[in-house]
Amino acid sequence: MRERRRGRAVRADNAVTAFTAGLSILVLPFLIIASCLLYVAPANTEQHFAWTIEPGVTAMYLASAYLGGVWFFGNVLRVRQWHRVRHGFPAVLVFAGLLAAATALHWDRFHAGHVSFLAWTALYITTPFLVGAALVLQAGSDPGKPAQRDTVIPAGWRIALAVLGLLSMGVGVVLFLVPTLGLDTWAWPLTPLTARVLGATLTLPGMVNVWLLIDVRWSAFRILFQAQMVSLGFILVALALSWSQLDFSRVAAWLLPPGLLVTLLLYALVYGVCEMRMRRHLPGTEPPVNPRAV
């Protein structure tokens, strides 16, 4: 279905386009393979990955972000409804763009000629453009209505999570722009490259959660919350397995694990509340919402 908006035709069928589905199929193998290499064998990145990542907890942290991406892109293919996944794509665009920039800035740190380096470079050179193209092709696909069974996320929770996400994004942007600030303050030792990579991962929740300020539909965030809980869960396990690599002479080492645990519990609480609210409502009983202003 198409409609006219400001003199141009736009989609309004809420369908994931073939291009967006194809992009998901393209990205998923990289995410799965990279997750396995980094999470299962974090000490072997010098032999098996595009660049040497030390200490191993950094590799596992990046793998945790990828595992959230596996969940997200797998659901893009499963649900095939644009409004359920649309708010994740701007986050992926920024994340991929930052990693492309980090690669260019630290080219000498990569294993030139290694197959994983070729895959990494090809992915991050092309992904920002492909995700941008998907966003253009999907423009107007979201009809701006609740799903058949849906609910409104309570305002207090939306504001709290948006603030939390924006704080994470702020830290991530600072780490990316001024990586030296993280070298002596992060919970474990970093290099300028790993500081920038961690900074890129920290922008993800901010880029997702900011949409909570203008879109109140639970169906528009349900999958994204699942993906973020997957990432947070794997990060917490990674910290537990790599506890000896944390530098407890730094305040961040004491603050990061409990902060991540509280964040995961907050997501889980909001998820549970919204699931119960959704199940109490019959299809079509929610008042209409209009996120089309975005």
* Both structure tokens of 102: 């980090």
Per-residue pLDDT band for 12 (boundaries 50, 70, 90) equals low
Residue 51 pairs in a beta bridge with: 110
For the segment 253-292, what is each residue's pLDDT rounded down to a tens digit? Answer: 999 999 999 999 999 999 999 999 998 864 444 444 544 4
Return the minimum-mean-pLDDT range out of 49-63, 80-94, 274-288: 274-288
Range of the domain at 184: 2-282
Q: Please give the angle made by the CA atoms of 100, 204 and 287, to the nearest 5 degrees.
A: 135
> Of all residues in the chain, what percent carry a pLDDT higher than 90?
86
Residue 288 within a domain = no
For the segment 235-244, what is each residue's pLDDT rounded down to a tens digit? Answer: 999 999 999 9
Cα–Cα dist 62/43, whole Å = 13
The pLDDT assigned to 249 comes to 96
Average pLDDT over residues 60-64: 98
Residue 292 within a domain = no
Overall domain count for the chain: 1
Residue 290 within a domain = no
The residue with tokens 């944390």 is 246
User: 0.85 exceeded by the pTM?
Assistant: yes
The pLDDT assigned to 119 comes to 93
The pLDDT assigned to 280 comes to 81
CB 142 within 8 A of CB 14: yes
Residue 89 within a domain = yes
Return the minimum-mean-pLDDT range out of 8-22, 171-185, 254-268: 8-22
Is the pLDDT score of 3 beyond 70?
no
Residue 289 within a domain = no
Residue 212 within a domain = yes
Residue 18 within a domain = yes
284: left (phi over 0), alpha (psi -120 to 50) or beta: left
* Both structure tokens of 192: 């300028």
* Both structure tokens of 218: 């639970």
Residue 291 within a domain = no
